[in-house]
Amino acid sequence: MTPPDPTPPAQPGLPGLRATVRESQAKARASRERARAEAEPAPVDPVARVLVDVPLAHLDRTFDYAVPAALAEAAVPGVRVKVRFAGQEVGGYLLERAATTDHAGRLAPLRRVVSPEPVLSPAVAALAADVAARYAGVRSDVLRLAVPPRHATAEKAASVPAPPVPTDLARPHHDWSAHPAAPALLRHLHDGGAPRAVVGVLPGEPWPALLADLVAATLAGGRGTIVCLPDGKDVARLDAALTQRLGPDQHVVLAADAGPARRYRDFLAVSRGARRVVIGTRSAAFAPVHDLGLVVVWDDGDDLHAEPRAPYPHTREVLLLRAEREGTAAVLAGFARSVEADHLLVTGWAHEVGAPREVVRARFRVDIAGASDPARGRDPSGVGARVPREAHLLLREGLERGPVLVQTPRGGYAAALACERCRTPARCAACAGPLALRGPLQPPTCRWCGTPDPAWACAECGHHGLRAPVVGDARTAEELGRAFPKVRVLSSAGDHVLATVPDRPALVVATPGAEPVAAAGYATVLLLDTWAPLAREDLRAAEEALRRWSNAVGLLAPGGRALAVGDPAHPALQALVRWDHGGFAAREAAERRSAHLPPATRVATLTGEPGALDDALTLLPLPPVAEVLGPVPVPSAGPRGPGGAPEEAEEQVVVRTPRVHGAALAAALGELQRVRSARKLDAVRVRLDPPSL
């Protein structure tokens, strides 16, 4: 009989258990090593001051974090970082490194550096602080406008340096003979000076070539330029002009419609110094251009320059702040002149670069229909006509030489309807909203609820006929097509905006801002319904109307003629006829000064629910000279109440103070925002220097 084996049986699971234990021990050692590395501070400047990306006013300050030795090389000023904040991981920007901190306790370490690419330059960080202070906002909101979202693939690619600039870059290509002060401006830009100018452009002048000369003179002097324009159409025109003037790959376009990858790639080209000329819309004002020497705003009165997101900065004001901080030249250019641009001239901050009166009179002509006795005698019934005989004759004459432009302030077909017999406005039977026609074959439809009413009858007289007191571009094009049956009619408005039109006879009907460009200019420009923009209940109604008319007249060919149909006694139309934008702006400024309105004062609006607004006014530490107007109800943009009346759920207060105390008002509003944010009170929208009142 075989004796039993004293060796215990093998346990098959024991080797695997030992391997698991060893793996766990290795992970624990690695964790301890990482913890020691995180705890070990950088040998030089171990403190990082981080601006966290949190849109809360009471947290709009830097927070100190420890810089781990492992991140010492990557954690440079301007990079994106991740930190532990309020129990969660949030992003932020590392603004600076320091040797010491005022914090008494132990500093939390940086979690990680998102990318070693410094995307926030010291100049842009300081500008963001200035903008936030001016508009009572927070820096994180401003930086969302200044720095585009990261695109990792674009960041990995190198930025190719710009080719050498042409040798004759300083020689102007545009004919500046109409502007006697222009040669001195170009010379100062080339020599490294910091001139500040308001440039008035004449109709028929190629303004993209004019701006390209300013950019070229600055670049020839070894400095960079930022040019901000209202919309993509203007950006495209200047893009083509700069490519022709500077050569390819000398500038970049920063615009939101470029797409995330291309926008970030072009932003990095500027940030890395590969490009020093930037054009674009609002966000281009924050471009990190190296050796910045010139900032330019085209058509600064356009409301597209006003940012619709908090803290609602205006491109003009951002670039003026930047010019002051960085000591650069600044140019405001356009066909019209804003009241703010005139204020810069009056205060001596800028100088005018314009054309003498005799040059203006020789370049073009603007008339008002029926303004003279002979004109009224030739067409006695044309005084109340929308398109009088004089306008028809001018269009016919212009069509013999090329395309003609007809500007109408309204889009669509018939934006408002009224009874044909008694002139009572046509209202919807369901919600009492206004009726409109969307096309020649469509029934009247409510603009509020969209209910069609093909069997409409007047509530006053029972008549079924309708008339259109307000006509849009589609109806205008239809009527002019019948008047000129052999002429091609083009429409540019709304979602169908034409960039250019061929240089041959055509009738072009467009709304303001949608006027296409004719290669050689328009032979004739006709301005219809000039009463409509003047009838707006807005502080800038007349100024905005003149700006829109001037931009249309600016598309004239040299020697062309424009005709406006409206009241010849209105100051805005008189200024258009004389092309006296400076005189009109001075008159507007004087009237606003007497009424204590901008730009003589700084104005802020506070909007919110009545209770929240009352709390805000109680907490607001106003300067002694500030004046509070209101509150007044603000109509809601939502559903209508009984009888079609708007529901008024919010109220608004206007606070104004003399311009010299504007900084104190902004500081008081900023403090109000911080207090309300810390106490988690109901929201109140604060807007300084709103574009309209």
Q: CA 22 to CA 600: how far, in whole Å?
A: 77
For the record, the structure tokens of 284 come out as: 């281009």
- 106-143, pLDDT tens digit by residue? 899 999 999 999 999 999 999 999 999 999 999 999 99
- Of 531, 537, 572, whose CA–CA distance to 553 is shortest? 572
Where do runs of H (alpha helix) occur along 281-400? 315-326, 339-346, 357-363, 373-378, 389-399
Q: Output the CA–CA distances (angstroms, integers) from residue 292 to 68, 219, 255, 329, in the order listed.
A: 35, 10, 19, 9
Mean pLDDT on 174-197? 94
Q: Residue 372's pLDDT is what?
A: 66
Quick one: which H or E segment has residue 154?
Answer: helix 152-156
Q: CA 301 to CA 549: how far, in whole Å?
A: 13
- The DSSP string of 175-229 is --TT-TTHHHHHHHHHTT---EEEEEPPTT--HHHHHHHHHHHHHHTT-EEEEE-
- 155-165, pLDDT tens digit by residue? 999 999 999 88
347 phi, psi to nearest 5 deg: -80, -5
- Of 316, 307, 314, 270, whose CA–CA distance to 120 is shortest? 270
545 phi, psi to nearest 5 deg: -60, -45
Q: Residue 690's pLDDT is what?
A: 92
Residue found by looking up tokens 């018939």 in the block = 414
Q: CA 28 to CA 21: how far, in whole Å?
A: 10
DSSP state, residue 538: S
Residue 549 has pLDDT above 50, yes or no: yes
Q: Residue 254's pLDDT is what?
A: 94
pTM: 0.89
Q: Which range, 15-24, 156-165, 282-291, has the best average confidence (pLDDT)?
A: 282-291
3-state secondary structure of 412: coil
- Of 656, 613, 604, 657, whose CA–CA distance to 632 is shortest? 613
**pLDDT > 90: what percent of the chain?**
70
- The DSSP string of 244-291 is HHH-TTS-EEE-GGG-HHHHHHHHHHHHTTS--EEEESGGGGG---TT
Residue 302 or 634, more confident = 302
Quick one: which H or E segment has residue 606?
Answer: strand 601-608
* 235 contacts: CB under 8 Å, gap ≥ 6: 229, 253, 255, 279, 280, 281
DSSP state, residue 427: B
Mean pLDDT on 618-622? 91
Q: CA 61 to CA 19: how far, in whole Å?
A: 50
- 224-264, pLDDT tens digit by residue? 999 999 999 999 999 999 999 999 999 999 987 888 999 99
For strands 601-608 and 650-658, give the pairing.
antiparallel
Q: Residue 371's pLDDT is what?
A: 72
Q: Which residue type is seen at 477?
A: A
Where do runs of H (alpha helix) occur along 535-685? 541-553, 571-578, 581-594, 610-619, 662-679
Count Cβ atoms within 10 A of the Cβ of residue 360 and give its class: 0-12 exposed, 13-18 middle, 19 or more buried. middle
Residue 677 has pLDDT above 90, yes or no: yes
Quick one: which H or E segment has residue 532?
Answer: helix 531-534
For the record, the structure tokens of 126 come out as: 């300081």
Residue 420 has pLDDT above 90, yes or no: no
| CA dihedral sign of residues 561, 565, 569, 571 | negative
Q: Output the CA–CA distances (angstroms, integers) from residue 608 to 307, 320, 477, 537, in the order listed.
A: 20, 31, 43, 22
Q: CA 299 to CA 513: how far, in whole Å?
A: 11
Q: Are 92 and 51 in contact (CB under 8 A)?
A: yes
Q: CA 188 to CA 186: how far, in whole Å?
A: 5
Q: Are 652 and 605 in contact (CB under 8 A)?
A: yes
Residue found by looking up tokens 């030795």 in the block = 69
Quick one: which H or E segment has residue 47?
Answer: strand 47-52
- 439: number of Cβ within 10 Å: 13
Q: CA 223 to CA 208: how far, in whole Å?
A: 20
Dihedral of the CA atoms 601, 606, 611, 615 (nearest 10)? Answer: -60
Q: Residue 644's pLDDT is what?
A: 47
For the record, the structure tokens of 172 come out as: 């102007």
Q: Output the CA–CA distances (angstroms, integers) from residue 187 to 191, 206, 214, 250, 356, in the order listed.
A: 6, 21, 10, 21, 21
- Of 42, 205, 19, 18, whose CA–CA distance to 109 is shortest? 42
pLDDT level of residue 611 (50, 70, 90 thresholds) = very high
Q: Residue 17's pLDDT is what?
A: 73
320-339 burial code (b ≥16 CB/10 A, e <16): bbbbeebebbbbbbbbbbbb
Helices 122-134, 662-679: inter-axial angle, 10-degree rounding: 90
Beta bridge partner(s), residue 406: 509, 526
3-state secondary structure of 515: coil
Mean pLDDT on 383-412? 91
Beta bridge partner(s), residue 493: 496
Q: Residue 173's pLDDT is what?
A: 85
